[in-house]
Amino acid sequence: MRILLFEDEHVIRRPLCVFLRSRGYEVLDFPSPLTCTLVTEQKCTCSRDRACADLVITDMKMPGMTGLELIRMMAEKGCHASTGAKIVISSGLTPEQAVELRTLGCHFLPKPFQMQELLALIEVCELDIPPDRELVPVEELWKTVRNHQ
């Protein structure tokens, strides 16, 4: 399972990456959607039958673009990752944001959270991954991504 992780706080992003990778997930991490050219330059390499990731985990409050804006943009651009395979993490949402996230079919995980809570939510999302799904080779993705570390 491949996860795109967008989290601007290094002290949160690094432990999340370590934890998720230790569980066998392939994680591509970014401090902001604006450091990912798949987002900023719309260089999505996904064909109609392949997706860049199985799951997107995004913080809500990031420089330049909120997690909600990212998910909204992905939906508008026809992202092949399921809308139910998107998790927003945040210390708080406005009532309007909560309604929109539910409307988009996304999951919400309030900060602070335990890693096991995140893992349980990821496992729920995994159930919706089609068994015949194909991912864009990671080498193709890295060709389109700016240096983000």
What would the pLDDT profile of 64-108 be if each residue is shown by its tens digit? 888 998 888 877 776 767 767 899 999 989 999 999 988 988 999
In the prediction, which pLDDT does 148 show? 45
**Per-residue pLDDT tens for 23-53?**
999 998 888 776 665 565 555 555 566 778 8
Distance of alpha carbon 69 from alpha carbon 50, whole angstroms? 23
Signed CA dihedral, 75, 40, 58, 68: sign only: negative
Provide φ and ψ at 33, rounded to 5°.
-60, -25
Backbone angles phi, psi at 17, to 5 degrees: -60, -45
- The CATH classification of domain 2-143, taken from the options 3.40.50.2300, 2.30.29.30, 3.30.450.20, 1.20.120.420: 3.40.50.2300
Under 8 Å between Cβ of 72 and 80:
no
14-35 CB burial, b ≥16 within 10 A, e <16: eebbeebeeeebebbbbbbbbb
Alpha-helix residue ranges (DSSP H) falling in the chain: 10-22, 37-40, 67-76, 95-104, 115-126, 138-143
pLDDT at res. 1: 92
Name the β-bridge partners of 51.
135
**ω into 112 cis (within 30 of 0):** yes
- The band of 6, judged by pLDDT with boundaries at 50, 70 and 90, is very high
